[in-house]
Amino acid sequence: MPDDRRVRPDTPRDRLPGLGAWTVVSPAAEPAVPSPEGAAGPGGAADSDLLRAARGLPVRRTPVWFMRQAGRSLPEYRALRAGTAMLDACQDPDLVTEITLQPVRRHGVDAAILFSDIVLPLVVAGVDLEIAPGVGPVVASPVRTVADVDALPDLEPDRLDFLATAVGRLVAELGATPLIGFAGAPFTLATYLIEGGPSKEHARTKAFMYAEPEAWGRLLSRLAASAATFLRVQIDAGASAVQLFDSWAGVLSAADYAERVLPHSRAVFDGLAGRDVPRIHFGVGTGELLPLIGDAGADVVGVDWRVPLDEAARRVGPGRSLQGNLDPAVLLADRPTVDREVRRVLEQGRAARGHVFNLGHGVLPETDPGVLTHVVDLVHRLSTR
């Protein structure tokens, strides 16, 4: 990918975030982000409640973090991102570090999630793709033929130095607070490549899947290798856990997912062999796929808001923990409603071998940050052992 799509290495230091020209307005007074008391044991991040819950071990209190916790709901994020394109920000270690830390400082969550984008591995590999404001990822030349599949560039690890740098800095800053790395799952990345952008029906994707089974298999195999490479770099740089996002897998039947998608998601996790970190697997609208999502190799199955956690625990089985699943829209309601729903999710989560409190999808941009902080405090207060 051309260097001019990133902040250049010779950018003056007074133009880097938090160093003078860009005002960092995160409310933290301290530069470091120690893990809140009670969230991590003497083993640091490795003994944190997040990792313990992921492995089904006893916790001091239910760990909580939010998908899209680093994002548009935070005024400090909007100030820092002003004038910088999303994909550029994702490749600048200074911006990635500061943005990832912002919600940890503000909310006291039990984990940081790396600030990145689901399509970033495609961009770094060389796919001509941009994130259009108000639209989402747009691919200049969508994949529509077998030849298009074979022409896709591979993701080379040596193009991910910026990622390793950012993760290394974050691990040093976070101390006992674990960092979660992430990548997009093969199916969801395939939908963007084939559709050429966001889609509600994913009709072209499914038509390609049915009509070109051999090419479909090659495409998802290549995307699985790319995702595994992206995650390995993060783990090797110090990430304590990883999450594989299959945002659009819910458009598939269980039979199609099992035959045409599951083997490739499993290949991503198989590609992390020898790296002992918890693996979280999440998709939207995947209530009928929950057992299969776990079978892909997850230690933790993410659940959206549509399936109660006690029912999700029954579907997934006793061998895996659960993550979720407060409806993000609840955070826009009045305080009594928020409190009632938080209590419900915590109660239902007791049915799982381990529970990581989260939303059922990402934080909505219009969410009041103060409500997120309140939810963190409430979860901690209600669940302290």
DSSP 223-248: HHHHHHHHHHHHHHTT-SEEEEEETT
CA 112 – CA 120 distance, rounded (Å): 19
Residues found in the chain: 385
Fold of 64-383: TIM Barrel (3.20.20)
Q: Looking at 60, 81, 105, 232, which residue is catalytic?
A: 81
pLDDT in tens, 86-127: 999 999 999 999 999 999 999 999 999 999 999 999 999 999
68 annotated active-site? yes
DSSP H helices in the chain: 49-54, 75-81, 86-89, 93-107, 120-125, 146-151, 161-174, 186-195, 203-211, 213-236, 254-260, 262-270, 290-295, 309-316, 335-349, 369-383
* Annotated catalytic residue within 47, 117, 310, 339: 117
Stated pTM of the model? 0.89
Span 126-154, pLDDT tens digits: 999 999 988 999 999 999 999 999 999 99
Is-catalytic flag, 353? no
Per-residue confidence at 296, pLDDT binned at 50, 70, 90? Answer: very high
- Asked if 159 is an active-site residue, the reply is no
Q: Which of 72, 275, 314, 315 is catalytic?
A: 72
Residue 36: band (very low, low, confident or very high) from pLDDT cuts 50, 70, 90: very low
φ, ψ dihedrals at 345, nearest 5°: -60, -45
- Tell me if 181 sits within 8 A of 167, measured CB to CB: yes
Q: How far is the C-alpha of 348 from the C-alpha of 171, rounded, in Å?
A: 32
Query: Is position 13 annotated as part of the catalytic site?
Result: no
pLDDT (average), residues 340-368: 98
pLDDT tens-digit series, residues 194-229: 999 999 999 999 999 999 999 999 999 999 999 999
Is the pLDDT assigned to residue 13 strictly greater than 50?
Answer: no
Bigger pLDDT: 93 vs 2 = 93
Pick the catalytic residue: 6, 68, 105, 159? 68
148 is an active site residue: no
Q: Tell me the DSSP string of 299-311.
A: SEEE--TTS-HHH
Q: Among the options 52, 77, 94, 192, which is catalytic?
A: 192
